[in-house]
Amino acid sequence: MFLQPRTWDEALDDRAHHPDALPVAGGTDVLVDINVGRAHPDAVLDLTRVPSLREWSTGPDGARIGACVTYTELIAGFARPLPGLVMAARSVGSPPIRHRGTIGGNLGSASPAGDCHPPLLASGASVEVASVRGVRTVPVREFFLGPKRNALAADELISTVCAPAATGPQVFTKVGPRNAMVIAVCSFALALDPRRGVVGTGMGSVGPVPLVADGAAHFLEDHLEAAGLWRSREPLDPSVVGRFAELVVGAARPIDDVRGTAAYRRHALHVLARRSLQWCWDDYCGGAT
């Protein structure tokens, strides 16, 4: 059965009546599973014809991004409000993959390596999910339950990603064998929010789910506050940058797998965390907020 709803209500109805139908947006993950024989769907729920899922808007408070907005569209539309997410979107696959792959599909697949996840975690984004029973909002940090498992109930679909607009520097960094076509060996996202004095982090491919490093974030928040650095914009002491990176690595739970060893991931994550903080802080000192 090939279900192709034309409205959001129709999609939720299809989802409720056919909970075994495999939801598909851009298909860049789902089709891989089908092609290699990991998935044998008798029924598919194609979400690409639901107009509301293709919509997005940005305002002073942040962005609302429909689940079927592609990486290409993210890159074109969100450089100002969500620079970290745009850096991540730009690192996905190749142009043909970015033209098809979507932010909702990335969340739905819930891979620990999904590139959208670290910047969404770092910026404190949330996911709107819906069913015929109603709508609820799930913070991204509560959305991932395990490798490729997320908080969606059997009758729910992702409708929208809501992310606050950046008020300071954001970066996304990623390690892989080449620049393109890389599933992250590990990745890291950092978001500085000078208005609220908040530091946000996100890490990919270093645990069973995308992770945050709250201990590192709080350490840095306390230091920036106590030393008055948000206001003075003076350089960070290298020992602070090093301690931040250590705390980030301490929050990681990597394993050995085909893409890298746990030890390598810890090493690489330390480098990514250090560089990310240095780049963000240099950016902040340069006045670019």
Partner 1 sequence: MKVTVNGAVHHADVEPGESLLHLLRERLGLTGTKNACEQGECGSCVVLLDDVPVCACLVLAGQADGMTVTTIEGVAGPQGLHPVQQAFVDAGAIQCGFCTPGLVLATIDLLRHTPAPTDDDVREALAGNLCRCTGYQQVIEAVRLAARRSA
Q: List interacting residues with partner 1 (CB under 8 A).
A: 1-2, 4, 24, 26-28, 31-32, 34-36, 39-44, 46, 48, 93-97, 99-100, 179-181
Closer of 96 and 235 to partner 1 (Cβ)? 96
Please give the structure tokens belonging to residue 81: 């409000």
Residue identified by tokens 């992702």 is 158
- Which of left, alpha, beta for 287 (phi over 0: left; psi -120 to 50: alpha)? left
Long-range contacts at 241-244 (CB < 8 A, ≥ 24 apart): 241/274, 241/277, 241/278, 241/281, 242/274, 243/219, 244/216, 244/219, 244/220, 244/273, 244/274, 244/277
Contact, 160 vs 143, CB < 8 A?
no
Closer of 145 and 181 to partner 1 (Cβ)? 181
The upper half-sphere exposure of residue 92, i.e. CA atoms within 13 Å in the direction of its Cβ, equals 28
Closer of 75 and 227 to partner 1 (Cβ)? 75
Contact, 126 vs 139, CB < 8 A?
yes
Taking residue 155's Cβ as centre, other Cβ atoms within 10 Å add up to 16
Closer of 45 and 206 to partner 1 (Cβ)? 45
As measured in angstroms, the least distance from the Cβ of 103 to partner 1 is 17
Closer of 96 and 147 to partner 1 (Cβ)? 96
Contact, 53 vs 66, CB < 8 A?
yes
As measured in angstroms, the least distance from the Cβ of 284 to partner 1 is 28
As measured in angstroms, the least distance from the Cβ of 225 to partner 1 is 40
As measured in angstroms, the least distance from the Cβ of 212 to partner 1 is 29
As measured in angstroms, the least distance from the Cβ of 71 to partner 1 is 12
As measured in angstroms, the least distance from the Cβ of 39 to partner 1 is 7
Give the integer Cα–Cα distance in Å for 76 and 78.
6
Closer of 3 and 220 to partner 1 (Cβ)? 3
As measured in angstroms, the least distance from the Cβ of 208 to partner 1 is 23
Closer of 100 and 270 to partner 1 (Cβ)? 100
